[in-house]
Structure formats: C-alpha cells, structure tokens
C-alpha cells in the first residue's frame, strides 16, 4: 500500500533528524528535534524561578506556576532606586527555596548582607562573586556552566549579574581612554559574549538574570527617551525584558511625622518570548522585608472586575455564592484567615489573566483596539 504524503513527510523528517544527529555527534548534544514536548530541545523551558510577586510570575510565564524562565536570559531594567537589584535578589532567594544554587555576580560593591538575609537568602550557601569587567563576567559564567556540566546538570542554578552598567572593560581598567574603539568596546564585547552564552545556558538548568540601568537619550523629542547600557546585545538575546518604575512611596505616621517605609513599583514586561508582552504589574516593596506578594493581587482583581467596590469596601463573591467583604488594608489578613480563600482568588485571577492560545480563531477587526501609545522598541 502506497504511503500518504503526510507519512512520506514524516519519514523524511525522521531520516533528516537521524542524519543531522549523526553528523554533529561529536558535539555531545542532540542536534535535531521534534517539538512534541521533548524537554531535551533547547527551545523548551527547563523550569521557572519565582520572582517574589505572583502577579509578575503570571505576566512573564502566562501560566499558573511560572516566574523567570530557566535556560533563558532575563534583563531587568529601570532607573535608579526602582528595585532592580531587589527583584533579582528575590529570584536568588527563591532559587534556594527550590533547592538550587544562587550565584551573585556584583559589579557595584553595594550589597547589603542584612537586607539579603531579610528577604530570605541563606548567605552561607550563596556564592558571591565581585567582578569588575565584562570580560571577567563572561569568563566566570562560562566556568560555572562548564563546572555544572561536569558535576550536577540536574540542579537548578540562578546567576544574577548586578549590574551591566556597573561593569567596566579591560580597556577602561587600563585607563586607555584614547584608544580607538574605547566608546564601543563594551557593546562589542557584550555582543560576542551574549551569542555564546545564549547557546550555552539553553541546554542547562540555569536562569541568567542581568540588571541594567536606564539612561536618558539626549536630544530625543519623540519616542522612548531611555536606553540601556551596553548596546543592543542583551535586549536582543534576552527572552524576557522587564522595565521597573517607582510610582510612589509607602508612608506611615510616626510621632506625627510621615516616614517612608517602602515604594510602589510598576513593572512592564516590554519583551516576552514566554507569553504575551506588554503586560503591566504593580507591587509593593518594603524596605525591611522586600516584595509584598499580595500587594499586586487587589489591583489585578479590580482590573478584571473580580471584586465589587462600594466606597472603601471591596466584595469578593466566592464560587459557592457567599460574599467576603474587606477593606484594602485588611486584604492580606482575610487571605490568611478565611480557609481556601487565597487559592480560590488565585484560581480566578489565573482564569482571567492567562491568555489561552486558540489557533485559527478569528477575533474580527471590530475586536481590535489600536492605540498610538509608545512601546519600547529595544525588545
């Protein structure tokens, strides 16, 4: 019986895959794959590292149990004092909670031991690596990857580079400011290094996070007035890019005087290969304890009309029809007091927030809203 066209195509694909895998056998890795859920393929995410904010995890991963992608590169950008280092540190703390190894590459020499401990990091088990140059950073990461390949490939490792802006180049360190190419040397080194790193960590259980400072572009009258240090290499190779912005202070009165105890942070996912981009999440950061996970829940609930409002009061209708009333300041307390409430609210948030891909569905031109709001072009 003659084979159908689809059967012939499948057999040809199998033959080609076998041929390619034999040809590149000396690399030690499988080269050709079928994307049928095979976790060996470099395109498959190896896992997730929680960010400290459940809503940000949802925005990045577009799934109930998500976070920063493992086997991929994430860039956290923002102006000074927007919480970049803190968000990266939360990823390290959650890596340890997941049984993984936390590696902190510091170029700014501004780490606070007390604060890292306050957000849950075990400093006796965290590897701290202070480095000065971009070249040394890439060599250190390559050395870590090679060591993992030889020892324990199945263990989760999160590497934070804080920050790209704070790293010099060897030309700068040698004070060769008049050397040709001084101004572009950092971008060139990053471009070469990122190409190599992307392929290296794509096959490993490594979550690589860069923090980077936003800089003002002089003379820009239209479009995005900000850019990041180091050229376009990291924005291009990063699977996820976040932009943080401080949008307010959290204050309490003490002895009749307002005192700031934290900041309100807005995070936009400006680039995302894990799910739909351009989602925005608000969360609270407290100076003493870091990210308040539940601070962003209520904003999402209001956005998707999962709660009814009447003055200062909120009403959440449970699946059994019963109502839970609360003030915003009592929200977290209610989540802890009422059995099953936290899981029920989170399930409803996920149902409303997660984009369910439906191939071939025609949404119709009338369903599309077109705006002229500027979107960051770097991602």
Read off the pLDDT of residues 83-141 as tens digits, 9 standing for 90 and up: 999 999 999 999 999 999 999 999 999 899 999 999 999 999 999 999 999 999 999 99
Cα(157)–Cα(207) distance, integer angstroms: 6
Judge if 71 and 190 occupy the same domain.
yes
Residue with tokens 């034999």: 22
Judge if 271 and 315 occupy the same domain.
no
- The CATH number assigned to the domain holding 239 equals 3.40.50.300
Number of structural domains, the chain?
2
Nearest in space to 193 (alpha carbons), one of 128, 282, 123, 133: 133
Judge if 99 and 213 occupy the same domain.
yes
Judge if 73 and 190 occupy the same domain.
yes
Residue ranges for the chain with pLDDT beneath 50? 5, 365, 374, 376-379
Residues 68 and 240 sit within 8 Å (Cβ to Cβ):
yes
- Mention every residue, 6+ apart, whose C-beta is less than 8 A from residue 207: 49, 68, 69, 70, 71, 72, 74, 91, 95, 156, 157, 158, 159
pLDDT tens profile 175-194: 665 555 555 688 899 999 99
Q: Is the dihedral of CA 332, 337, 343, 344 positive or negative?
A: negative
Judge if 273 and 345 occupy the same domain.
no
- The CATH number assigned to the domain holding 340 equals 3.30.250.10
Cα(119)–Cα(38) distance, integer angstroms: 36
Residue 117 lies in a domain: yes
User: Helix/strand/coil (H, E, C) string of 211-266?
Assistant: EEEEEECCCCCCCCCEEECCCCHHHHHCCEEEEEEEEEEEEEEECCEEEEEEEEEE
Judge if 274 and 312 occupy the same domain.
no
Judge if 136 and 73 occupy the same domain.
yes
Judge if 340 and 239 occupy the same domain.
no
Counted residue by residue, the chain has a size of 379
> pTM (2 decimals)?
0.89
Nearest in space to 267 (alpha carbons), one of 242, 293, 235, 285: 242
Residue 310: domain span = 304-357
pLDDT at res. 362: 60
Q: What share of the chain is helix, strand, coil (3-state, %, to 5)?
A: 35, 25, 40
């Amino acid at each position: 019986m003659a084979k159908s066209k689809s059967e012939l195509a499948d057999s040809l694909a199998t033959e080609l895959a076998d041929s390619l895998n034999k040809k590149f056998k000396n690399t030690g890795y499988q080269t050709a794959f079928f994307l049928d859920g095979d976790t060996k393929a470099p395109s498959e995410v190896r896992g997730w590292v929680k960010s400290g904010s459940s809503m940000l995890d949802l925005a990045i991963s577009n799934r109930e149990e998500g976070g920063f992608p493992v086997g991929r590169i994430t860039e956290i950008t923002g102006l000074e004092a927007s919480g970049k280092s803190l968000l990266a540190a939360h990823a390290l703390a959650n890596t340890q909670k997941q049984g993984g190894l936390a590696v902190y590459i510091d170029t700014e020499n501004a780490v606070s031991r007390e604060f890292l401990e306050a957000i849950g990091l075990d400093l006796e088990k965290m590897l701290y690596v202070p480095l000065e140059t971009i070249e040394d950073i890439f060599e250190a990461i390559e050395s870590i990857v090679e060591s993992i390949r030889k020892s324990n490939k199945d263990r989760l490792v999160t590497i934070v580079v804080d920050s790209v802006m704070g790293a010099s180049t060897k030309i700068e360190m040698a004070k060769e400011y008049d050397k040709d190419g001084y101004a572009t040397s950092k971008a060139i080194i990053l471009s070469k290094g990122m190409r190599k790193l992307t392929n290296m960590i794509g096959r490993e259980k490594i979550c690589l996070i860069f923090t980077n400072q936003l800089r003002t572009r002089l003379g820009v009258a239209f479009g995005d007035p900000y850019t990041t240090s180091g050229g376009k290499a990291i924005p291009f190779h990063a699977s996820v890019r976040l932009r943080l912005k401080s949008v307010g202070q959290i204050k309490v009165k003490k002895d009749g005087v307002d005192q700031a105890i934290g900041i309100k942070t807005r995070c936009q996912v400006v680039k995302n290969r894990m799910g739909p981009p351009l989602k925005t999440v608000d969360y609270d950061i407290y100076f003493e304890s870091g990210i308040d996970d539940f601070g962003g829940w209520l904003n999402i609930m209001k956005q998707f009309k999962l709660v009814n409002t009447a003055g200062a009061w909120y009403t959440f209708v449970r699946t059994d029809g019963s109502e839970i009333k609360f003030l915003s300041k009592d929200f977290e307390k209610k989540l802890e007091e009422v059995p099953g409430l936290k899981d029920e609210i989170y399930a409803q948030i996920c149902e409303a927030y997660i984009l369910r891909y439906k191939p071939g569905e025609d949404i119709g031109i009338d369903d599309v809203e077109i705006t002229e709001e500027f979107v960051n072009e770097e991602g």
